[in-house]
Structure formats: C-alpha cells, structure tokens
A = this chain, B = another copy of it.
Amino acid sequence: MIIINREKSVQRPLDTLGQAIDSPVLIKLKGDREFRGILKSFDLHINLVLDDAEELENGEILRRLGTVLIRGDNIVYISP
C-alpha cells in the first residue's frame, strides 16, 4: 500500500546483512542473551545461521554451539 521507490543506489538494512555473510557478527537477543559467530545465511524474517557460534553472558562464554539457527523474532540487534 506504501510504495517506496527503490533506486539501485539505495541500500536497505538486509543489504547490510548480505555484506556481512562469512564475516563475524555480534547478535544481541531480547533478555540480554548474546551470540558471536560467523554469519552464514539469513532470510526476510532475519532468521539467521551462525557458524562457530558462542553464547555469551556478561561478555563470558556460556556455551559453544558450533552451527546455530537463531529465530529472527528474538533479535534486538546485529553488529557486523
């Protein structure tokens, strides 16, 4: 219903995520859970897959998860 002209030069947030593929990212979840890992894939719901993923609490490693799929609706922010 709202149409936004999307010129090729305009980046969208998911483009930024696309550029971070195969790079390390920091993921903050609701309730302050945190993950670090290599971003392998994502979809339009911002579901995403990390490799070499670590779950953190207060900056300390809580658990090493290897590959993990995080459901997008839990995510607060992603920092490449």
Contacts and interface: CB of A to CB of B under 8 A. Distances in A.
A71 B75 contact: yes
A77 B69 CA distance: 5
A15 interface: yes
B69 A10 contact: no
A17 interface: yes
A6 B48 CA distance: 15
Given A4-B44, A12-B41, A65 B79 contact: yes
A70 B74 contact: no
B41 A11 contact: yes
Interface of A: 1-2, 4, 6, 10-18, 26, 29-30, 33, 40-44, 46-49, 53, 65-80
